[in-house]
Amino acid sequence: MLPALVYGDAIGNHVIEMWKLLRSWGYRSDIYADYCHPKYAYACKDYRQYKGSSENILIFHYSIGSEVTDFVRQLPDRIVLYYHNITPSHFFRGINRELERQLEEGRQRLASFKDVPFAIAASEYNRQELLALGFKEVAVVPYILDFAKLDASAESKAGMAIRRRYDDGAVNILFVGRIVPNKCQEDLIKIFSYYHKLMNHHSRLLLVGSSANAEAYRFRLEFLARALDLEDSVHFCGHVGLDEGLGAYYKVANVFLCMSEHEGFCVPLLESAHFCVPIIAYKAAGVPYTLGNAGILIKEKRYDAVAEMIALLVSDEALRRRVVAKQRERLQAFERGKLASRFHELIRSFIRIPVE
């Protein structure tokens, strides 16, 4: 159960993968949400239709405040909280008042679940947050990813169109993620300005992601790009899912650049590693937990220095190979079969816990 099952969203993708796994293991499993994207209508039901039972295990995916929270709290089910993390509400001040309220509510209500006998976190970063709030039993099960679908999207008709458009010899600097303030796309534009003007005019910045909840922020970014005379080189690609050829953007990318100040996990880091795209990322929140000792983590947002690092990764083949090799090594920790087994083990152990 979750507030919204969104297409092309990391949480939505993960919920679908968990649902498929549970069914493949012989469990009866259904997905309930307040909002369900039409692409997922085959799998999702309105949460108001759900009839609770003390014999059921309900996995509640938590990332924001919503009416679903109140609904879950009154159910007799054995609840497992899956924590995706909550973006600090201050990022949306002056951008989206309603979303700011929902995030603040989500943060305030989180501690009310510390009485659940068991919780799962998407990352060690998320786990530490729950433990600090008083949760007792918290296991880590990262996002279960299906890279085969991402590979197929790169070879699809939509993917090949993207590759023809951007695979033209220019250096492509990529970021994939919603256009929202916590992901700090303004920093990406400023770094790109240094790189594009001082090091390589034959380059572009690709910003892939929806701005549905932060249109005012996107307008600011577009204004910044125009003010820096970059409007032809900064591409706002919009929401791109697997059906729209998402994998192709990684195929054409020379560097993946992330300056986000809040991530609970950041799936695009692993997607970049899968496609052998070297990563430069700001060392904040969940990012260092996901990358481990892979990629290039920076502690200070020196735009000129980061631009020079991009230039090095593009021109120094030996450096690029070393960075990519460490990323591929790190990717082994997120092998699909390994994570699926871990999830199955936790579900079976929770089933064996006596009902109080």
Sign of the four-CA dihedral 100, 101, 107, 110: negative
Q: Tell me the three state secondary structure of residue 68.
A: helix
What is the distance between the alpha carbons of residues 250 and 76, in angstroms, rounded to a whole number? 45
Identify the band that residue 229 occupies on the pLDDT scale cut at 50, 70 and 90: very high
Fold annotation for 148-333: Rossmann fold (3.40.50)
Fold annotation for 2-140: Rossmann fold (3.40.50)
Q: Tell me the three state secondary structure of residue 26.
A: coil
What is the distance between the alpha carbons of residues 343 and 341, in angstroms, rounded to a whole number? 5
Identify the band that residue 351 occupies on the pLDDT scale cut at 50, 70 and 90: confident
Quick one: which of 145, 179, 160 has its CA closest to 244? Answer: 160
Output DSSP code: residue 355. P
- Measure CA of the first residue to CA of the last residue in the chain; give whole Å: 23
Q: What is the mean pLDDT of residues 192-215?
A: 97
Identify the band that residue 350 occupies on the pLDDT scale cut at 50, 70 and 90: confident
So what's the pLDDT on residue 8?
85
Domain with CATH 3.40.50.2000 in the chain: 2-140, 148-333
Q: What is the mean pLDDT of residues 196-223?
A: 97
- Give residue 163's identity as a one-letter amino acid code: R
C-alpha neighbours within 13 Å on the C-beta side of residue 319: 13
- pLDDT(172) > 70: yes
The mean predicted confidence, pLDDT, of the chain is: 95
Q: Tell me the three state secondary structure of residue 2.
A: strand
Encode burial over 168-190: b for 16+ CB neighbours within 10 A, e otherwise: eeebbbbbbbbbbbbbbbebbbb
Identify the band that residue 353 occupies on the pLDDT scale cut at 50, 70 and 90: low
Q: Tell me the three state secondary structure of residue 280.
A: strand
Which residues have CB under 8 Å from 317's CB, separation 6+? Answer: none
Instruction: List, for residues 81-126, the tens digit of each pLDDT value.
Output: 999 999 999 999 999 999 999 999 999 999 999 999 899 999 999 9
- pLDDT(352) > 80: no
What is the distance between the alpha carbons of residues 94 and 91, in angstroms, rounded to a whole number? 9
- pLDDT(43) > 60: yes
Quick one: which of 184, 189, 180 has its CA closest to 214? Answer: 180
Q: Tell me the three state secondary structure of residue 86.
A: coil
pTM score over 0.85: yes
C-alpha neighbours within 13 Å on the C-beta side of residue 195: 31
- pLDDT(19) > 90: yes
Instruction: List, for residues 253-310, the tens digit of each pLDDT value.
Output: 999 999 999 999 999 999 999 999 999 999 999 999 999 999 999 999 999 999 999 9
- pLDDT(68) > 80: yes
